[in-house]
Amino acid sequence: MLKKILIANRGEIALRIVRACAEMNIRSVAIYTDPDRYGLHVKRADEAYFIGDDPLAGYLDPRRIVNMAVETGCDAIHPGYGFLSENAELARICAERGIVFIGPSADVISRMGDKTEARSSMIAAGVPVTPGTEGNLSGLDEAVEVAAEIGYPVMLKATSGGGGRGIRRCDSEADLRQQYPRVISEATKAFGSAEVFMEKCIVNPKHIEVQVLADSQGNVVHLFERDCSIQRRNQKLIEIAPSPQLTPEQRAYVGDLAVRAAKAVGYENAGTVEFLLAGNEVYFMEMNTRVQVEHTITEQITGVDIVREQILIASGRPLSYRQEDIQYRGYALQFRINAEDPKNDFLPSFGRITRYYAPGGPGVRTDTAIYTGYTIPPYFDSMCLKLIVWSLNWEDAMDRGMRALEDMRLQGIKTTAPYYKEILQHPQFRSGEFDTSFVPEHPELLNYSEKRHPSEVALAIAAAIAAYAGL
């Protein structure tokens, strides 16, 4: 069993891993750069080590991180999500230095991180993929030729892309000629690779992903699906488990496809297989070789602690569950509370949190590393809180989500919380029938009024009186 784990991440996911380690009697080691000096993951880990003044460099240096793990007597590294979580070099250096990487092998990360190779692997395994190029495009001329073959609209995608970057929809040849150099440029800057491939654009699909767990003995299970269709510019906003839109037959089908995909590449640890659904057609999109931001809702409906399972698998243990042992109950929603202003084109709203009160009550979970007085730095992702709610049925889960959003107090910055309340009240969302077009097709939901809670008004009055009295 692993004894000491270095967490190569920050914020709420680092804190999530610290908690799992504490429950398993495993020592946790946090790392931090200067902006995270007062971060909760630093305060809560058993040990914490400074890795530089630069906000990002320390989190992105695989060799330095592995050296730190060796120097501090760790036997494993958990990468969380983002940063180096899908970095094959980190996994490779870990193997060279005798450190367990809590994730799949470097080879699998490379294969599934290369979107064209991932497509080829899925085709060989009999998993349906969208029509498109079998490999990378050789240039604009080939792109124009392939697009004419498969028909517009098409999607240009960076081969090494992820997180919604390096992707452009093209609705015509003129659009393609304009977007092609932009995708090349973005891919080169963001991922260090100019390789791009093309897929048929599935218009207004449902975005469904399946959580899988796989051990070193060849056992693979799925933990059912999540619906990630509520998104803006390929960035997920609200996630749901299970999808309120799937029939039992569709649920079983995508679950089996995900297990087949994982087995086809010799996958080990936690991963997510993403699909697009259009009518009755299902298409493989990509595989994320790490724990997902939204793993929380799968934990809520199944009772499986995914991070714990990651650590057990990395320790060489077989899966704790067989497929027939895994059942789901009720519905869970996760709201990504981002430090953004929805009324100002979702402009980031970094700054000091003057007041934070976490919602609670039955079926409510918050994953965060913020607190009153904490300053959200401008160097990282804008997500400051994950609010998760669970209830036995879809209607009650939405109502609980509304109540929890109303309960929460997060002041000093703008957040996406008011926007989510508008979505929760929309008839189409409440019907459980929506796809990836929901957000762009309902711009009117951004016209909400920002009402102040009576407690906020009282605080403002008290502050004004105190200021006046001090004159």
Residues assigned a catalytic role: 290
8 Å CB contact between 398 and 333: yes
The amino acid at residue 150 is: I
Evaluate whether 386 touches 12 at the Cβ level (below 8 Å): yes
Which residue do the tokens 């995608």 mark? 157
Q: What is the largest CA-CA distance in the chain?
A: 76
What value does the CA radius of gyration of the chain take, rounded to a whole number of Å? 22
Distances (CA, A) of 92 to 63, 107, 108, 116: 10, 8, 11, 21
350/368 Cα distance (integer angstroms): 15
DSSP secondary structure letters along 296-335? HHHHHHH---HHHHHHHHHTTPPPS--GGG----SEEEEE
3-state secondary structure of 459: helix
* DSSP conformational letter for 129: B
Distance CA 300, CA 386 (A): 13
3-state secondary structure 394-440: HHHHHHHHHHHHHHCEEECCCCCHHHHHHHHHCHHHHHCCCCCCHHH
Rounded to 10°, the helix 106-113/88-97 angle is: 170
Q: Do the beta carbons of residue 290 and residue 213 sit within 8 Å?
A: no
Distances (CA, A) of 459 to 266, 449, 452, 456: 57, 20, 11, 5
